[in-house]
Amino acid sequence: MKITIITDAKGDVVGTVLQPQWIEPQPFGSYRLLAGPGQTVHEVELPAHLEGVQSTEEFHRDLKTHLASLKRGEEKSGSQKKGRGG
């Protein structure tokens, strides 16, 4: 499952959105996340071990660790888009 993650300039997770896997087009609108100044949008596969995490604090901490491992090249990297001013 794909997840969109927004991080701040320090790499802390400030927001996430799971990307739905629709089989057929849905009859409602779409959305797009925009990164603010100094923020970055990451689109990656959600690691299976994070799918059942209930605590937001733990989830964000583990996502930060996962993104750091992607940056070091330990896993296939997702796309990154910088926000305005960043």
What is the tens place of the pLDDT at every residue in 6-56?
999 999 999 998 877 666 666 776 667 788 999 999 999 999 999 889 999
Burial 20-45 (b: 16+ CB within 10 A, else e): eeeeeeeeeeeeeeebeeebbbbebe
pLDDT at 56: 92
Write the CA distances from 62 to 25, 53, 56, 67, integer angstroms: 32, 9, 10, 9
Please state the pTM of the whole predicted model.
Answer: 0.73
What is the tens place of the pLDDT at every residue in 64-84?
999 999 988 865 545 555 665
Residue 13: exposure state from Cβ atoms within 10 A (0-12, 13-18, ≥19): buried
CA distance 64 to 58: 10
Q: Domain residues of the chain, as ranges?
A: 2-18+33-47+54-82
